[in-house]
Amino acid sequence: MVRFVHFGDTHLGRRNFKLEERERDFEEAFKQVIDFAIRKKVDFVIHSGDIFDTGRPRYRVVNFLVSQLLRLKREGIPFFTIPGSHDVAPDGTLLSTLHKVGLLKNLGEEEYFEKRGEEIILRGESYKGVFIAGIPGRRANISKFYEKLRPELKGDFRILIFHHIISDISGKFSDIEKEVLPRGFDYYAGGHWHSRFETSFNGKPVVYPGSTEVWDVREVGEKGFFYVEDGRREWIPLKTRKFVELVVNCDDLTPSEVNEKVKEQMKPNDGAILLIRLKGRLKGGSKAEINRKGIMDAASEKGYLYANIYTSELLNPEEAQVSLENKSLQEIEKEYLEKKGYEGKKLEIGMKLIELFGKKLTASEIEVNKKKLFGMLGL
């Protein structure tokens, strides 16, 4: 009876809103999975890529991971993984180092791939009668790469770890068609998609646990991982930071009235992140006069860890209603950049730059945008 845990996209080192607490949150989620694996005494752990948020994680992030891998090692529980798109730097991945010192098995190492003419023999590891192979989250010609793979299938249960989005999930973001997956596996452990997704291929499960914490506010939702016992799969939810959305209609309000209304509608909380979306059209003054610091201080007093205020749906008194056209233009720009191969952070930066080009900005808006861009660039 084989028992294992499958998680992924842990993005250690990630912060939202530059909050140190958020970095701890990502670690806490990772630790919960390791705690579970040890408590359940599983045979092994599978991670489907993006252990780290960047290819050059800071030392304290590396130290955290190493201490968790050591906990597993002491219990005799191996950790199988592949490098996700975020784990790779221009000159390689830290996972190779961790593989060499025996803290994990990086199934994306070259030793697991052998070119034989046009074909690539895909080797893996055999452990307790289970065959585990992996495909690193590389991008270039990825479908062709999949088609060339000839897995060296062994054992009575076979697992493939991969880090690409199949078209069943999203046509827009897909990397591969499900049909290019190599046949003969009993469990396809997917990564890269940050929400839970489950389907099948040839009658075998193709599953994505999603990220273990909220990488971006657009993916707020339940986070968790899979526990598999004798082929039976169970979803285990994680305790993660709560996000609360507050939508405030600001029609016919002045900026100072907006402040009062937001504070009124803010319910007390215990540590959540508050996302405030201001909507409608102001009666007087302008968006720039809204006292953001006042709102953020109020949120802090009510017990929130942080409040982020979105004003893109808020109109100044004389501003033309352009939302529909404006939105579709943004979508066109986004699609264009995606077609050119931009994704993730690069896409975000590209969108931001397009947004700022030719715009008349006040000194404080320039400062805010400068900070945002520097944050995106990691400066």
Decide whether 14 or 105 has the Cβ nearer to Mn ion.
14
Q: What does the per-residue mask of binding to Mn ion show for 93-112, with x meaning CB under 5 A?
A: --------------------
The least distance separating Mn ion from the CB of residue 88, rounded to whole angstroms, comes to 12
Q: CB-based burial of residue 330 (10 Å sphere; 0-12 exposed, 13-18 middle, 19+ buried)?
A: middle
The least distance separating Mn ion from the CB of residue 145, rounded to whole angstroms, comes to 19
Decide whether 12 or 228 has the Cβ nearer to Mn ion.
12
Decide whether 127 or 197 has the Cβ nearer to Mn ion.
197
Decide whether 9 or 213 has the Cβ nearer to Mn ion.
9
- Residues in 331-370 that interact with Mn ion by CB under 5 A: none
Structure tokens belonging to residue 157: 């249960």
Q: Tokens 């906990």 label which residue? A: 71
Instruction: Identify the three-state secondary structure at position 201.
Output: strand
The least distance separating Mn ion from the CB of residue 50, rounded to whole angstroms, comes to 4
Stretch that binds Mn ion, among 6-14, 69-77, 128-136, 350-358 (CB under 5 A): 6-14
The least distance separating Mn ion from the CB of residue 137, rounded to whole angstroms, comes to 9
| Sole binder of Mn ion in the list 2, 7, 9, 134 (CB under 5 A) | 9
Contact 84, 94 (CB under 8 A): no
Contact 310, 278 (CB under 8 A): yes
Decide whether 45 or 253 has the Cβ nearer to Mn ion.
45
The least distance separating Mn ion from the CB of residue 312, rounded to whole angstroms, comes to 25
Decide whether 9 or 175 has the Cβ nearer to Mn ion.
9
Stretch that binds Mn ion, among 3-11, 20-28, 33-41, 313-321 (CB under 5 A): 3-11
Structure tokens belonging to residue 288: 């720039």
Q: CB-based burial of residue 156 (10 Å sphere; 0-12 exposed, 13-18 middle, 19+ buried)?
A: exposed
Rounded distance, CA 315 to CA 285, Å?
11
Which residue number is nearest to Mn ion in terms of Cβ? 50
The least distance separating Mn ion from the CB of residue 55, rounded to whole angstroms, comes to 13
The least distance separating Mn ion from the CB of residue 121, rounded to whole angstroms, comes to 28
C-beta atoms surrounding 238 within 10 Å: 18
Which strands sit side by side in the sheet containing 44-47, from one edge to the other?
A: 105-106, 79-81, 44-47, 3-7, 224-229, 232-237
Nearest Cα neighbor of 159 from 242, 236, 82, 75 is 82
Decide whether 219 or 257 has the Cβ nearer to Mn ion.
219
Decide whether 83 or 151 has the Cβ nearer to Mn ion.
83
Decide whether 50 or 186 has the Cβ nearer to Mn ion.
50
With vertex at residue 342, the alpha carbon angle to CA 339 and CA 347, rounded to the nearest 5 degrees, is: 120
Stretch that binds Mn ion, among 43-51, 55-63, 74-82, 148-156 (CB under 5 A): 43-51
Stretch that binds Mn ion, among 4-12, 18-26, 297-305, 334-342 (CB under 5 A): 4-12
Q: How many residues bind Mn ion (CB under 5 A)?
A: 2
Instruction: Please name the amino acid found at residue 226.
Output: F
- Residue ranges of alpha helices (H) inside the chain are 20-40, 59-74, 94-100, 142-148, 255-265, 292-301, 323-339, 344-356, 363-377
The least distance separating Mn ion from the CB of residue 194, rounded to whole angstroms, comes to 6
What does the DSSP 8-state code read for residue 289? G
Rounded distance, CA 235 to CA 316, Å?
46
The least distance separating Mn ion from the CB of residue 215, rounded to whole angstroms, comes to 7
Q: CA end-to-end span of the chain, whole Å?
A: 49
Decide whether 26 or 185 has the Cβ nearer to Mn ion.
26
Site membership for Mn ion, residue 87 (CB under 5 A): no
- Residues in 130-149 that interact with Mn ion by CB under 5 A: none
Site membership for Mn ion, residue 50 (CB under 5 A): yes
Stretch that binds Mn ion, among 8-16, 111-119, 232-240, 247-255 (CB under 5 A): 8-16
Residues 6+ apart with CB under 8 A from 297: none
Rounded distance, CA 123 to CA 152, Å?
6
The least distance separating Mn ion from the CB of residue 191, rounded to whole angstroms, comes to 7
What does the DSSP 8-state code read for residue 195? S
**Contact residues for Mn ion, defined by CB under 5 A:** 9, 50
